[in-house]
Amino acid sequence: MSTAPAVRLLVGKVGLDGHDRGAKIIARSLRDAGFEVIYTGLHQTPEMVVATALQEDVDGIGLSILSGAHNTIFPKIVELLRARGASDIIVFGGGIIPDEDKAGLTSVGIKGLFTPGTSSQDVVAWVRANVPSRRR
Protein backbone atom coordinates (compact mmCIF):
# COMPACT_ATOMS: atom_id res chain seq x y z
CA MET A 1 0.00 0.00 0.00
CA SER A 2 1.27 3.44 -0.85
CA THR A 3 1.00 6.17 1.75
CA ALA A 4 0.13 8.96 -0.66
CA PRO A 5 -1.89 11.67 1.06
CA ALA A 6 -5.63 11.35 0.64
CA VAL A 7 -7.06 13.49 -2.12
CA ARG A 8 -9.22 16.28 -0.73
CA LEU A 9 -12.25 17.44 -2.65
CA LEU A 10 -14.74 20.27 -2.38
CA VAL A 11 -18.22 19.63 -3.75
CA GLY A 12 -19.87 22.96 -4.39
CA LYS A 13 -23.35 24.27 -5.14
CA VAL A 14 -23.01 27.71 -6.67
CA GLY A 15 -25.68 30.28 -7.36
CA LEU A 16 -29.34 30.20 -6.44
CA ASP A 17 -30.00 26.67 -7.67
CA GLY A 18 -31.28 24.46 -4.85
CA HIS A 19 -31.26 21.11 -6.67
CA ASP A 20 -28.84 19.32 -4.37
CA ARG A 21 -29.82 15.69 -4.90
CA GLY A 22 -26.99 15.12 -7.38
CA ALA A 23 -24.37 17.07 -5.44
CA LYS A 24 -25.13 15.15 -2.27
CA ILE A 25 -25.08 11.78 -4.01
CA ILE A 26 -21.73 12.60 -5.64
CA ALA A 27 -20.28 13.89 -2.36
CA ARG A 28 -21.39 10.75 -0.55
CA SER A 29 -20.13 8.45 -3.32
CA LEU A 30 -16.71 10.14 -3.32
CA ARG A 31 -16.55 9.94 0.47
CA ASP A 32 -17.51 6.25 0.40
CA ALA A 33 -14.75 5.74 -2.20
CA GLY A 34 -12.17 7.00 0.30
CA PHE A 35 -11.73 10.66 -0.63
CA GLU A 36 -11.87 13.46 1.92
CA VAL A 37 -14.93 15.41 0.90
CA ILE A 38 -16.18 18.82 1.99
CA TYR A 39 -19.62 19.93 0.84
CA THR A 40 -20.25 23.69 0.67
CA GLY A 41 -24.02 23.62 1.16
CA LEU A 42 -26.29 25.77 -0.97
CA HIS A 43 -26.30 29.25 -2.47
CA GLN A 44 -22.58 29.87 -2.63
CA THR A 45 -21.01 32.64 -4.67
CA PRO A 46 -17.93 31.79 -6.78
CA GLU A 47 -15.88 33.83 -4.30
CA MET A 48 -17.14 31.76 -1.38
CA VAL A 49 -16.33 28.49 -3.14
CA VAL A 50 -12.80 29.60 -3.98
CA ALA A 51 -12.22 30.89 -0.45
CA THR A 52 -13.36 27.55 1.01
CA ALA A 53 -11.22 25.62 -1.49
CA LEU A 54 -8.10 27.52 -0.46
CA GLN A 55 -8.86 27.40 3.24
CA GLU A 56 -9.46 23.65 3.10
CA ASP A 57 -6.47 23.15 0.81
CA VAL A 58 -8.36 20.90 -1.59
CA ASP A 59 -7.02 19.18 -4.68
CA GLY A 60 -10.18 19.35 -6.71
CA ILE A 61 -13.50 21.17 -6.89
CA GLY A 62 -16.63 19.46 -8.19
CA LEU A 63 -19.36 21.94 -9.07
CA SER A 64 -23.01 21.07 -9.46
CA ILE A 65 -25.48 23.26 -11.26
CA LEU A 66 -28.84 22.46 -12.80
CA SER A 67 -30.20 25.91 -13.48
CA GLY A 68 -28.37 26.66 -16.71
CA ALA A 69 -26.02 29.28 -15.27
CA HIS A 70 -22.91 27.11 -15.78
CA ASN A 71 -21.55 29.28 -18.61
CA THR A 72 -21.41 32.22 -16.20
CA ILE A 73 -20.41 30.50 -12.99
CA PHE A 74 -17.89 27.82 -13.98
CA PRO A 75 -15.48 30.16 -15.83
CA LYS A 76 -15.69 32.65 -12.97
CA ILE A 77 -14.42 30.06 -10.51
CA VAL A 78 -11.51 29.07 -12.74
CA GLU A 79 -10.68 32.75 -13.14
CA LEU A 80 -10.74 33.38 -9.38
CA LEU A 81 -8.52 30.35 -8.72
CA ARG A 82 -6.00 31.66 -11.25
CA ALA A 83 -6.04 35.09 -9.61
CA ARG A 84 -5.29 33.47 -6.25
CA GLY A 85 -2.45 31.39 -7.73
CA ALA A 86 -4.31 28.10 -7.36
CA SER A 87 -4.65 27.01 -10.97
CA ASP A 88 -3.45 23.55 -10.03
CA ILE A 89 -6.76 22.81 -8.29
CA ILE A 90 -8.66 20.63 -10.73
CA VAL A 91 -12.18 21.89 -11.47
CA PHE A 92 -14.88 19.56 -12.75
CA GLY A 93 -18.63 19.89 -12.87
CA GLY A 94 -21.94 18.25 -13.44
CA GLY A 95 -25.52 19.15 -14.21
CA ILE A 96 -27.69 20.01 -17.15
CA ILE A 97 -24.96 21.02 -19.55
CA PRO A 98 -25.89 20.94 -23.23
CA ASP A 99 -23.33 19.36 -25.57
CA GLU A 100 -22.77 22.63 -27.36
CA ASP A 101 -21.63 24.30 -24.12
CA LYS A 102 -18.99 21.68 -23.38
CA ALA A 103 -16.23 22.93 -25.69
CA GLY A 104 -16.45 26.44 -24.26
CA LEU A 105 -16.23 25.18 -20.69
CA THR A 106 -13.34 22.86 -21.51
CA SER A 107 -11.42 25.69 -23.17
CA VAL A 108 -11.59 27.84 -20.03
CA GLY A 109 -10.14 25.01 -17.98
CA ILE A 110 -12.97 22.82 -16.70
CA LYS A 111 -11.32 19.39 -16.77
CA GLY A 112 -14.34 17.08 -16.52
CA LEU A 113 -18.03 17.50 -17.33
CA PHE A 114 -20.71 15.05 -16.27
CA THR A 115 -24.25 15.18 -17.57
CA PRO A 116 -27.53 13.50 -16.54
CA GLY A 117 -27.40 9.71 -16.40
CA THR A 118 -23.73 9.54 -15.39
CA SER A 119 -23.00 6.78 -12.89
CA SER A 120 -21.49 8.02 -9.64
CA GLN A 121 -18.85 5.30 -10.07
CA ASP A 122 -17.77 6.89 -13.35
CA VAL A 123 -17.23 10.15 -11.49
CA VAL A 124 -15.26 8.32 -8.78
CA ALA A 125 -13.08 6.64 -11.42
CA TRP A 126 -12.51 9.92 -13.22
CA VAL A 127 -11.47 11.70 -10.03
CA ARG A 128 -9.08 8.87 -9.18
CA ALA A 129 -7.41 9.17 -12.56
CA ASN A 130 -7.40 12.94 -12.90
CA VAL A 131 -7.16 14.61 -9.50
CA PRO A 132 -3.74 14.11 -7.89
CA SER A 133 -2.90 15.27 -4.41
CA ARG A 134 -1.15 18.66 -4.36
CA ARG A 135 0.68 17.86 -1.11
CA ARG A 136 3.64 15.73 -2.01
Site of interaction with other proteins (CB under 8 A): 15-21, 24-25, 27-29, 31, 39, 41-43, 45, 67-69, 71-73, 96, 98-99, 115-117, 119-121
Q: Which is nearer to other proteins, 87 or 121 (CB)?
A: 121
Q: Which is nearer to other proteins, 21 or 135 (CB)?
A: 21
Residue 94 · residue 64 · CB < 8 Å: yes
Q: Which is nearer to other proteins, 5 or 98 (CB)?
A: 98
Collect all residues with Cβ–Cβ distance below 8 Å to 111 and sequence separation of at least 6.
90, 91, 92, 130
Shortest reach from residue 105's CB to other proteins, in Å = 13
Q: Which residues of 29-55 are buried (b: 16+ CB within 10 A; e: fewer)?
A: bbeebebebbbbeeebebeebbebbbe
Shortest reach from residue 136's CB to other proteins, in Å = 28
